[in-house]
Amino acid sequence: MSQEQITIESDESGPLDTFRQLFALQRDVLVLSLSMFAFSLGFQMTNRFLPEYIIALGASGFVVGLFGTVGNIISAVFPYPGGAISDRIGSRYALTLFGLVSTFGFGVWLVAPNLGVITVADITIQPWIWIFVGLLLAQGWKSFGLGATFAVVKQSTDPSRLATGFASTETFRRTAFLIGPVLAAVLIGFHPAFSVSFRYVLSVAILFGIVGTVAQHILYDASEDSMGDSFNGIKQIRRDLREMPDPLRPLLVGDTLVRFANGMVYVFFVLVITQFYEVGFNPTASLAGFSYGVSLSPEAFFGYLLGVEMLIALIAMAPAAKIAERVGLKPIVALGFAVYALFPIVLIGGPELLAPVMPLSWAMILIFAFSGLRFAGLPSHKALIVGPAKKGAGGRVTGTYYLLRNTVVIPSAALGGYLWEFVSPEIAFTIAAVIGVVGTSYFLVFGREFEAYL
């Protein structure tokens, strides 16, 4: 890999300028960004709608919570070995392997309804069980490849520009977060039965997974990948935990609390729209004696709401990364944490507060626009994680961080599912907000700045 550093030639910080800058960046960061786009498009087209898919296949709200917890387990377990594999065999082959696994997972989701109810040794296997199986595979690139993606950006970027480097890759990735749910919403509108129309979405996701895997394998230049030591089992995990850079510890505590809060309710966002409020989008207008209107089902409307959320994220991320170069990473990360913390209570209670001044559907649009601000701190957050890592250890440091954080977060979705199903959605979302505020406050008090930004 070339040692050329990322250079920024202007002080502009809008999302379009970020795209322009990307084509002047080191080649591997650009290839990584394109791969992120393809896989994020496939994952965001599908993952945010899976709770509704599970319900359509006959599961309960509590099962949705268990689905979220399995996702948390994968997020906890996969990044560390993924980072170790990346450091050992190089990012190119690691990401290709993870891409193939992820694409196969999309395929399992696609065929799940065809499998029907199966009885094996007096044990009944419902169709929604296969959604869990597919999840183990589909999160391959997203979770296994986490350490590899961090390592590529770190070894290609000047330390004082890490937030800007991550803003560049995240702009590509979050553009997919914008396009994916909107494209899914369009495809969902092709058939009135969600369990049928969502399979159109899954078919397109498989196509993007294939394209992303082939593109990153062909285009990525692995000639100068930095390699770390071989993996030495549990002893190495313990050593990496002990040797985690000190600046990461308060960040880890605050981040873990915020993510636990988000994990309690994240998988239920779609159900808030489709079941709790049952809100679609049906505006009408009259012109020259004719009436014109748009009619979106709650499921399709949710896809457009995610598009609004990502549009705000795209607008906010690049300027926030540039501001971080002047004020430091910590204030920008804290802003993102605060929005994460407050969003659950805003989503579950905000529409009623806004009811006197605007229709429910427009209130939801405003609320999801607010949610987009939580991503403003994401590039700075990633820079704060990988910045203190030594050369050749970026993958393992990232994997260690996420191993600890996501292990603690594992039970969050099951707890949220229990509260949703057996207490009330309002209580689940309120408790989540309280935990998130505690985590944000802890980071504000004890969090440390990355030296390159001082």
Mean pLDDT score, 117-121: 77
The pLDDT, as a whole number, for residue 121 is 74
Indicate if the pLDDT at residue 170 is higher than 90: no
pLDDT (tens digit, 9 = 90+) per residue, 339-353?
A: 999 999 999 999 999
What angle is formed at CA 208 by the lines to CA 410 and CA 268, rounded to 5 degrees? 35
Indicate if the pLDDT at residue 26 is higher than 90: no
- Confidence bin at 283 (pLDDT 50/70/90): confident
Domain ranges in the chain? 15-227+245-276+296-453
pLDDT (tens digit, 9 = 90+) per residue, 386-396?
A: 776 655 555 56
pLDDT (tens digit, 9 = 90+) per residue, 60-87?
A: 999 999 999 998 888 777 766 766 666 6
pLDDT (tens digit, 9 = 90+) per residue, 201-234?
A: 999 999 999 988 888 777 766 555 554 444 455 6
The pLDDT, as a whole number, for residue 128 is 93
Indicate if the pLDDT at residue 1 is higher than 70: no
Interatomic CA distance for residues 435 and 211, integer angstroms: 40
Q: Is domain 15-227+245-276+296-453 in CATH 1.10.1740.10, yes or no? A: no
138 vs 34 pLDDT, higher one:
138
The pLDDT, as a whole number, for residue 230 is 47
Report residue 257: phi and psi, to 5°. Answer: -65, -45
Interatomic CA distance for residues 337 and 394, integer angstroms: 23
Indicate if the pLDDT at residue 338 is higher than 90: yes
Residue 286: its H or E element: strand 284-287
Whether this prediction's pTM lies above 0.85 is answered by: no
The pLDDT, as a whole number, for residue 2 is 42
Indicate if the pLDDT at residue 159 is higher than 80: no
pLDDT (tens digit, 9 = 90+) per residue, 416-439?
A: 999 999 999 999 999 999 999 999
> Hey, what are 356's tokens?
């006197």
19 vs 293 pLDDT, higher one:
293
Indicate if the pLDDT at residue 262 is higher than 80: yes
134 vs 153 pLDDT, higher one:
134
Residue pointed to by tokens 């919403």: 185
Burial of residue 294, with CB atoms counted within 10 A of its CB: 0-12 exposed, 13-18 middle, 19 or more buried: exposed
Indicate if the pLDDT at residue 306 is higher than 70: yes
The pLDDT, as a whole number, for residue 59 is 93
Per the prediction, the chain carries an average pLDDT of 81
Secondary structure of residue 120 in the 3-state scheme? strand
The pLDDT, as a whole number, for residue 337 is 97
429 vs 397 pLDDT, higher one:
429
The pLDDT, as a whole number, for residue 5 is 41
The pLDDT, as a whole number, for residue 240 is 73
- Confidence bin at 167 (pLDDT 50/70/90): low
Measured between alpha carbons, how far is residue 4 from residues 27, 28, 155, 224 in Å? 10, 11, 10, 12
Residues contacting 61, CB < 8 A, separation 6+: 55, 268, 271, 417, 420, 421
105 vs 235 pLDDT, higher one:
105
Residue pointed to by tokens 């997203």: 142
350 within 8 A of 358, measured Cβ to Cβ: no
The pLDDT, as a whole number, for residue 203 is 96
